Amino acid sequence: MARERTLSEQAFEQFPQALILVDRETTVLSLNAVGERLTGWASRDAIGRPAADILEVRTETGVNLCAPNGALRRALRLGTRINTHFAYLFRLRTSDDPVRVSYSVSPIRLKGKTPDAAVIIIHDVTPELETIELLQDLHGQADRMERLIGDILAVSRIDSGRISVDLSRVDIGSVVGHVCDEVRPMLNGRSLKCRVPEDLPPVMGEARKLHQILVNLLTNAIKYSEPGTQITFNTRADQSAVRFEVSDQGVGIRKEHMPRLFEKFYRADDPIVRRTSGTGLGLYIVRSLVTMLGGQVHVRSRHGKGTVFTVILPRAEATTRTRPRVAVGAQ
């Protein structure tokens, strides 16, 4: 019996997460080694005190585990187990930053239905969160690599003439919808306003190429502007064409850099531009694709104020009879 108690006490003491045993009044009965480390309280000082004295664990919405309306009292009253995945443990004894934790409260019944005690388990999730961040970082790098390889392939197809254009009527609303969905996760605090009139006529083009053109322009608008600024994506039709306009309130482009923007590998010699990663292929691809679709691309910019790229593509009705299918270069 004594041996069993020693073993269970040792198991409690050496459990790899913080364990705090409280009675039904939430008075601390014991605290294991990880609990001592995480809270900063020695178990001999903690025992006999209300749990609220040694422990401040708050959910993301700010509710304190040990408050009168908190999870601990609820578990002791109702006899139900409570789990919370995202919470913060505040270090009451030190000025250290709060620790990200998950916790559970398990009521313990010796006899009868009402709980006599509860064990609080607190798990420091910092290492897991770091792993997630690392994975996200790797994911981001893999995304960038995929985009770069895609760009290099696109350029090599363009340059060798191995690219065909299959012109057909393209419904702009659905392309713009997909484009905006794709770039939204990159916004990071910038706002994106997409304005597409309901009655916009179809253009003569190719949905995939139009998609690639617009994603490139919007990615640039995001890359070369600060969080908190606005990016606007406007589309409007006139008698023969549809205009797509991507405006940002970003770093802008100096006059002397304008003539070379659409060249392969060209990046403006500007410290703000050099801070971002890029290869200088995006606008070369944009101009090549726009030309294949029979359109034009223009740029206006004021250094330090912002930039507007405009793509003009012919309306479907204006061209259906004259240009059903065009192949550029050798297949």
Residue ranges that bind ligand ATP, judged by CB under 6 A? 151, 220-221, 223-224, 248, 250-253, 261, 266-268, 273, 278-284, 307
Rounded-to-integer distance, Cα 257 and Cα 289, Å = 22
Query: Which of 220, 225, 288, 301 touches Mg ion (CB under 5 A)?
Result: 220
Shortest CB 12 distance to Mg ion, Å:
58
Shortest CB 267 distance to ligand ATP, Å:
3
**Partner touching 221 among Mg ion, ligand ATP, none, CB below 5 to 8 Å by kind:** ligand ATP
- The 3-state DSSP composition of the chain as helix, strand, coil percent (nearest 5) reads 40, 30, 35
Task: Say how many CA atoms lie within 13 Å of 114 toward its Cβ.
Answer: 7
Complex with ligand ATP: residue 32 or 225, whichever CB lies closer: 225
Classify residue 257 by its DSSP letter: G
Rounded-to-integer distance, Cα 10 and Cα 100, Å = 26
Position 64 contacts Mg ion (CB under 5 A): no
Shortest CB 221 distance to ligand ATP, Å:
5
Complex with ligand ATP: residue 88 or 266, whichever CB lies closer: 266
Complex with Mg ion: residue 125 or 285, whichever CB lies closer: 285
Complex with Mg ion: residue 220 or 319, whichever CB lies closer: 220
* Stretch in the footprint of Mg ion (CB under 5 A) among 9-17, 219-227, 290-298, 304-312: 219-227
Shortest CB 75 distance to ligand ATP, Å:
53
Query: Which of 282, 294, 295, 306 touches Mg ion (CB under 5 A)?
Result: 282
Task: Say how many CA atoms lie within 13 Å of 8 toward its Cβ.
Answer: 5
* Stretch in the footprint of Mg ion (CB under 5 A) among 25-33, 110-118, 123-131, 220-228: 220-228
Shortest CB 287 distance to ligand ATP, Å:
9
Complex with Mg ion: residue 105 or 286, whichever CB lies closer: 286
Position 212 contacts Mg ion (CB under 5 A): no
Long-range contacts of 102-106 (CB under 8 A, 24+ apart): 103/57, 103/65, 105/65, 105/71, 105/72, 105/75, 105/81, 106/75, 106/81
Contact status, residue 74 vs residue 128, Cβ threshold 8 Å: no
Which token pair is 184? 């939204």
Q: Which residues, other chains included, contact 110 with Cβ-Cβ below 8 Å and sequence gap of 6+?
A: 116, 117
Shortest CB 254 distance to Mg ion, Å:
17
Beta bridge partners of 237: 242
Rounded-to-integer distance, Cα 306 and Cα 251, Å = 6
Q: Can you tell me whether residue 171 is helix, strand or coil?
A: coil
**Partner touching 105 among Mg ion, ligand ATP, none, CB below 5 to 8 Å by kind:** none
Complex with ligand ATP: residue 30 or 232, whichever CB lies closer: 232
**Partner touching 251 among Mg ion, ligand ATP, none, CB below 5 to 8 Å by kind:** ligand ATP
Q: Which residues, other chains included, contact 275 with Cβ-Cβ below 8 Å and sequence gap of 6+?
A: none
Beta bridge partners of 234: 195, 245
**Partner touching 280 among ligand ATP, Mg ion, none, CB below 5 to 8 Å by kind:** ligand ATP
Q: Applying CB under 5 A, what is the total number of residues that bind Mg ion?
A: 2
What are the residues binding Mg ion (CB under 5 A)? 220, 282
